[in-house]
Amino acid sequence: MDAPLEDGIEAMPSGEAGSRRVILRDSIKATAGFERLGAEIGSSLKSLIRMFGPSGFCASGRRAAVMHTA
């Protein structure tokens, strides 16, 4: 897993979640891409993009799936 992606995932439960989700989104775009990530964790592209937006919500189960896949 690349460092920005790992840092962003670990920081999501903290109060900095909005900016960290943006870091995660950019890292996902630069590496695996949302299409591949969505296919691997069983989530739609649109749902993942919303989840990793500044005001998105990432449930712990999805966060674990992203960590495992990344």
Distances from the Cα of 37 to the Cα of 15, 28, 34, 69, angstroms? 25, 8, 5, 7
Contact 60, 6 (CB under 8 A): no
Tell me what pLDDT residue 26 has. 85
Determine the structural domain holding residue 51 and report its residue range.
Answer: 3-69
Angle at 35 between CA 47 and CA 18, to 5 degrees: 45
pLDDT digit string, tens, across residues 35-45: 998 898 888 88
Q: For the chain, how many structural domains are there in total?
A: 1
**How much is the pTM?**
0.59
